[in-house]
Amino acid sequence: MLTSYKRLIITSGEPAGIGPDLCLILASQSLPVQLVIAADPELLSQRARQLDLNVTLTTFNPEDRQPAKAGELLVAPFSLSQPCLTGQTNPANGQYVLDILSYAVQGCMDGLFDGMVTGPVHKEVINNAGVPFTGHTEFLAEQTQTHKVVMMLATEGLRVALATTHLPLSEVADAITPDSLEEVIRILNADLVNKFGIIEPEVLVCGLNPHAGEGGHLGMEEIEVIIPVLDKLRREGMNLKGPLPADTLFNPNYLASADAVLAMYHDQGLPVLKYKGFGKAVNITLGLPVVRTSVDHGTALDLAGTGQASPDSLLTAIDYAMQMISE
């Protein structure tokens, strides 16, 4: 009897960028999972010709859970609103990108797919299409009617989650409330247990201010917000260290036993992670009722169609998704 494989849906992202290129490269990979590419088949055919790749495109059949054969891609077909010129964005195709995302997340909710891996999108193009869009994380939360999600990036030896995501720096302090911070930590701890199989996760928590506030001399957020929340959750049994100064937290002495770091804002933790693992890092959305991972890079319009785009981050995202759906 044939084995029924797990199934991941891959969204191809911005059509003018490297997303389609990376999806085509997957035809050369041999993975113990069925990969389904959500994209316009004509776009993929056009890009394959540009890249001189011989790839057979086969329409996805939900009844068949076998991996694609070598040189073949399974495609869930969508149609661009207008023909795509490689490297040149077109707001007319902004809705196409969102339609693919909606299909993927609904398919995961319905059990058609076991998880989703998202290619890079161009936020400005989607906004120029007249659709307010701040990022994958927020969009997927809305689509799944999830009250709160947490953005986490991971690479070998380091996971960094964020207490706030895409906010101006001037708004960060006000956004970190006792309730919001507690909710973020609960989601992070729960998904480290349930989606990563870590029984008692250790989380290092950054302070918001330089030197973690230096006893109130450099800000009161640690004393008034962060420490009370950490103390409360420690009493429930969570293994939380901090708040720690972000400028010294990211060193081997602290990280050796840690399962994740919680940074207070986007540019506090992610520059370190991207320096350590850019190109081999993955973006993971915690708190969703589905598994979602993503590449850690942008659309790279200048590399589209050149054959120079590296698939490493996409392969890492697939690998993490496979780990998470097997737990």
Partner residues linked to 282 by β-bridges: 154, 295
Q: CA torsion sign, 57 to 97 to 13 to 65?
A: negative
**pLDDT of residue 138 exceeding 90:** no
Q: Which pLDDT band, with edges at 50, 70 and 90, does 245 fall under?
A: very high
**pLDDT of residue 294 exceeding 80:** yes
Q: What is the pLDDT of residues 166-188, one digit of tens each?
A: 889 999 999 999 999 999 999 99
Q: Which pLDDT band, with edges at 50, 70 and 90, does 45 fall under?
A: very high
Binding region for a divalent metal cation: 166, 211, 266
Contact 292, 156 (CB under 8 A): no
Q: CA torsion sign, 312 to 274 to 157 to 197?
A: negative
Q: What fold is seen in the domain 150-274?
A: Isopropylmalate Dehydrogenase (3.40.718)
Binding region: 136-137, 166, 211, 266, 274, 283, 292
Task: Please tell me the least confidently modeled range out of 21-25, 232-236, 296-300.
Answer: 296-300
Confidence at residue 1, expressed as pLDDT on a 0 to 100 scale: 39
Q: What is the pLDDT of residues 247-275, one digit of tens each?
A: 999 999 889 999 999 999 999 999 999 89
129-141 mean pLDDT: 81
**pLDDT of residue 158 exceeding 60:** yes
Confidence at residue 3, expressed as pLDDT on a 0 to 100 scale: 61
Residues of the chain above pLDDT 90, percent? 80
φ/ψ of residue 219, rounded to 5? 130, 150
Q: What is the pLDDT of residues 70-96, one digit of tens each?
A: 899 999 999 999 999 999 999 999 999
What pairing do the DSSP bridges indicate for beta strands 115-118 and 7-11? parallel
Assigned CATH for 7-146+290-324: 3.40.718.10
CATH 3.40.718.10 domain residues, the chain: 7-146+290-324, 150-274
Binding region for substrate: 136-137, 274, 283, 292
**pLDDT of residue 31 exceeding 80:** yes
Q: Supply 319's token pair.
A: 């690998």
Q: Which pLDDT band, with edges at 50, 70 and 90, does 151 fall under?
A: very high
